[in-house]
A and B are shown apart, each in its own frame.
Chain A
Amino acid sequence: MTRLWALVVKELRALLKDRRARLILVAPPLMQLFLFAYAATFELERVPIAVWDEDGGREARELLARFAGSPHFAIRRQLHSGHEVAALLDQGEVRAVVHLAEDFGARLARGEVAPVQLLLDGRNSNTALLVQGYAAEVVARFAARGGDGAPGLTVRSWYNPNLESRWFFVPGLVAVLSFSLTLVVTALSVAREREAGTFDQLLVTPLSSWEILAGKSLPGVVVGMAEGTLILVAALLWFRVPLEGSLAALYLGMVLFALAAVGVGLMISALAVTQQQALLGAFLFLVPAVILSGFATPIANMPEPVQWLTRLDPLRYFLVVVRGVFLEGAGVAALADQYWPLLPIALASLAAAGLLFRRRSS
């Protein structure tokens, strides 16, 4: 036990040995959190648009006034002919052009369907669809004005009534940032010692493989949990994301998740001969793990075989835990399905790492 403790202390010292090393554990993740919490947004406000009104009548002006009044649009240009449209959209000066034909008012007066043409820049397909949605809302409200009544359909969003993307991404960043840091730190830990030759010295000490494994993984778990807590505090105090559920449920998930992350990191580290290979291995795991986790794009949109593959991704489960606890007020019972898959991932990867320690050094 004292031997194990000595190893843990040595590992932590190696991680926190100088100011530069300590800084690298704290500063970049926090910087990333702030940058990305503000960057990762799909909400659009004041989208630059141009209007091309060939009608010019009262009805047309009223509709365009509604576009001008919407917080989602900012009218940058009034066009008088069609030949400017292409250049404006090409150069990205405006994201959309609203076009009303000469007979817009006349059609409305005759009680016919009056088309409102919307030309969109599709280079960012997601933006195009969102802008289209905002425009549809403006037109629907215009169409429903007066005697015709409400648009007929109301929309309510549970858990996040104002549909703030930040509430979705900030809890996600707690998971993603602590995952990437834990993975890189542990992946490089054994490889660095291998390159320096000190790992062989560690192997000839009376420590067993399992003690070395425990000594290498505990500091990783500590670093991962500390990182997660740091970002959690920032999410609560700075971003004011509501924490509806229990911290116990969150931390149960975090322990299991940190174990799984450390297991994967050490397994990569045990396989690698050099630090460069270890980093590459960490990357080859990290990038698909983040992409397939549901962090930015929903798992439900992925093809069936890929969805099956995401079940091997520890990040996937912890993301559900973090978001569930933060926004949906989930407790331990509701998250049981997310906890247990982390256990086999952690156990299998840690065991593989332990076995590989000795094999590779012969």
Chain B
Amino acid sequence: MRARRLAALLRKEALQVVRDPSSIAIAFAMPLLLLALFGYAVSLDARNVRLGLVVEASGGPARDLISRFAQSEYFHPVLYRHFAAAEADFLAHRLDGILWLGADFEQRLAAGETAAALYLNGVDANQARLVAGYVEGAWEHWRAAAGRAGAVLVPRIWFNPAAESRHFLVPGLVAIVMTLTGSLLTAMVVAREWERGTFEALLATPLERGALIAGKLLPYFALGMASMAVVVAAAVAAFGVPLRGSLGVLGGVAALYLLACLALGLAISAATRSQFLAAQVALFATFLPAFMLSGFLFEVAAMPAPVRLVAELVPARHFVALLQSGFLAGDVPALLARHGLALAGEALFFLALALRAMPRRLA
């Protein structure tokens, strides 16, 4: 009897999902759009840095240095004879930086003094720091090639040898996409039922609260898992991101995360009971933290301690850590234990919250 009721509710909820084009759009169009943006458009790797080279010196060492910049894939060098001309272009944002080799470049170099100056636009601090790193690298290589011995750094980057930002961004994107379907869509849909009074009608049926919640959540669970599968397949097939961990672990972790998201969405909808408020709260409580505090783009370890604490409470932070490892490094038991347990705990907490927010009877 109970099973039949649940089945009837499930059928009704599933039909509601399938017949609303906007749910399908959130679950499939949005993920593919995001994937295209992050896989193709966004890159943290500076390429074609427009570097102004002010060369007042004319000797062999200066020419050698210039040719190094011309050959590098990172730079798009522009030559100047005078600093003033380069400065004007720099101020007008036509250059990203200026490397100034003065007329006494060779003498100073020979004397072991500071021979060149690099000017950067520091407004985008991260970009400035990366460009400074590239120029210093080219400079060091040039000096080493000129026969200078001593300690040299030989870096080797594990898991992502070319340090491609795409390999770092796309795995985290799975979390962003699932947050959209899991929390935002659920919060809106259930809030609409509250607004229209159909939820109260459901409460009047003999269904238990647990069955009611299960019936509400399962169709969105299926939708969320499907959109995850689409993103993972596209990440591997279209963008060549390696998947070194096992699919089973990935699926299990994703299911835990989705459960936490769905419960949170349900709690938001029950607490606000208005689509407008639910949308606002869901945006600020789920999507933006998943974007900013999860380690998807910004390193959690670099945040100040109070913010790190808040980040620990965001389910996406644990999921993103597992995704980045699962894709690039493989299944690491220690990480799985730490973040998997945190995810499970959060899923349970949000489920309890959703149950509490859902009234047994109407006031």
Binding site for B on A (CB under 8 A): 20-21, 24, 28-29, 31-32, 35-36, 38-45, 47-48, 63, 89-92, 95, 104, 108, 111-130, 132-133, 135-137, 139-140, 142-143, 147-165, 167-168, 180, 184, 188, 192, 274-277, 279-280, 283-284, 287-288, 291-292, 296-298, 300-303, 306, 323, 327-328
Interface flags, B127-170, vs A, CB<8A=1, else 0: 11110110111011001100011111111111111011101100
Could you tell me if A276 and B34 are in contact, using CB atoms closer than 8 angstroms?
A: no
Q: How far is the CA of A354 from the CA of B121 in the complex (A)?
A: 43
Q: How far is the CA of A235 from the CA of B32 in the complex (A)?
A: 35
Binds A, one of B6-14, B43-51, B201-209, B349-357: B43-51
Could you tell me if A39 and B293 are in contact, using CB atoms closer than 8 angstroms?
A: yes
User: Smallest distance from the beta carbon of B97 to chain A beta carbons, Å?
Assistant: 9
Q: How far is the CA of A157 from the CA of B126 in the complex (A)?
A: 12
Could you tell me if B155 and A113 are in contact, using CB atoms closer than 8 angstroms?
A: no
Could you tell me if A302 and B188 are in contact, using CB atoms closer than 8 angstroms?
A: no
B:309-349 near A, CB below 8 Å: 310-311, 321, 324-325, 328-330, 332, 334-335
Q: How far is the CA of A46 from the CA of B335 in the complex (A)?
A: 21
Could you tell me if B120 and A157 are in contact, using CB atoms closer than 8 angstroms?
A: yes
Q: How far is the CA of A286 from the CA of B159 in the complex (A)?
A: 32
Q: How far is the CA of A120 from the CA of B159 in the complex (A)?
A: 9
Q: How far is the CA of A184 from the CA of B265 in the complex (A)?
A: 18
Could you tell me if B111 and A168 are in contact, using CB atoms closer than 8 angstroms?
A: no
Inter-chain contacts of B311 with A (CB < 8 A): 39
Q: How far is the CA of A24 from the CA of B324 in the complex (A)?
A: 34
Inter-chain contacts of B20 with A (CB < 8 A): 276
Is B3 in contact with chain A by the CB < 8 A criterion? no
Q: Contacts A122-B163, A162-B122 given; 8 further ones with Cβ under 8 A?
A: A24-B277, A48-B301, A122-B167, A168-B124, A188-B275, A274-B22, A280-B25, A284-B33
Name the CB-closest residue of B to A142. Answer: B151
Inter-chain contacts of B158 with A (CB < 8 A): 89, 119-122
User: Smallest distance from the beta carbon of B267 to chain A beta carbons, Å?
Assistant: 16
Given A39-B303, A91-B334, A288-B33, A31 contacting B153 (CB threshold 8 A): no
Inter-chain contacts of A135 with B (CB < 8 A): 153, 155
Could you tell me if B122 and A154 are in contact, using CB atoms closer than 8 angstroms?
A: no
Name the CB-closest residue of A to B21. Answer: A277
Could you tell me if B30 and A284 are in contact, using CB atoms closer than 8 angstroms?
A: yes
Could you tell me if B30 and A283 are in contact, using CB atoms closer than 8 angstroms?
A: yes
Indicate which residue in B109, B161, B192, B307 contacts A275 across the interface (CB closer than 8 Å).
B192
Inter-chain contacts of B289 with A (CB < 8 A): 35
Number of cross-chain contacts by CB at 8 Å: 327
Binding site for A on B (CB under 8 A): 20, 22, 25-26, 29-30, 33-34, 37-38, 40-48, 50, 96, 109, 111-130, 132-133, 135-137, 139-140, 143-144, 148-161, 163-165, 167-168, 180, 184, 188-189, 192, 275-277, 279-281, 283-284, 288-289, 292-293, 295, 297-299, 301-304, 306-307, 310-311, 321, 324-325, 328-330, 332, 334-335
Inter-chain contacts of A275 with B (CB < 8 A): 188, 192, 275-276, 279
User: Smallest distance from the beta carbon of A83 to chain B beta carbons, Å?
Assistant: 15
Could you tell me if B119 and A128 are in contact, using CB atoms closer than 8 angstroms?
A: no
20 A-B residue pairs with Cβ-Cβ distance under 8 Å, sorted by A, are A35-B292, A48-B301, A117-B154, A118-B153, A122-B163, A125-B160, A126-B168, A129-B130, A129-B133, A136-B133, A143-B151, A149-B113, A152-B114, A154-B116, A154-B117, A163-B129, A184-B283, A280-B30, A287-B33, A298-B124
Indicate which residue in B42, B189, B324 contacts A123 across the interface (CB closer than 8 Å).
B324
Q: How far is the CA of A202 from the CA of B118 in the complex (A)?
A: 62
User: Smallest distance from the beta carbon of A16 to chain B beta carbons, Å?
Assistant: 13
Inter-chain contacts of A20 with B (CB < 8 A): 277
Name the CB-closest residue of A to B333. Answer: A91
Could you tell me if A126 and B279 are in contact, using CB atoms closer than 8 angstroms?
A: no
User: Smallest distance from the beta carbon of A191 to chain B beta carbons, Å?
Assistant: 9
Given A108-B151, A120-B158, A328-B123, A276 contacting B42 (CB threshold 8 A): no
User: Smallest distance from the beta carbon of A223 to chain B beta carbons, Å?
Assistant: 13
Could you tell me if A302 and B41 are in contact, using CB atoms closer than 8 angstroms?
A: yes
**Looking at B22, B50, B168, B324, which has the most chain A CB atoms within 10 Å of its CB?**
B22
Q: How far is the CA of A252 from the CA of B321 in the complex (A)?
A: 42
Inter-chain contacts of B161 with A (CB < 8 A): 122
Q: How far is the CA of A111 from the CA of B44 in the complex (A)?
A: 38
Inter-chain contacts of A31 with B (CB < 8 A): 284
Q: How far is the CA of A289 from the CA of B26 in the complex (A)?
A: 17
Q: How far is the CA of A190 from the CA of B292 in the complex (A)?
A: 30
Q: How far is the CA of A89 from the CA of B332 in the complex (A)?
A: 10
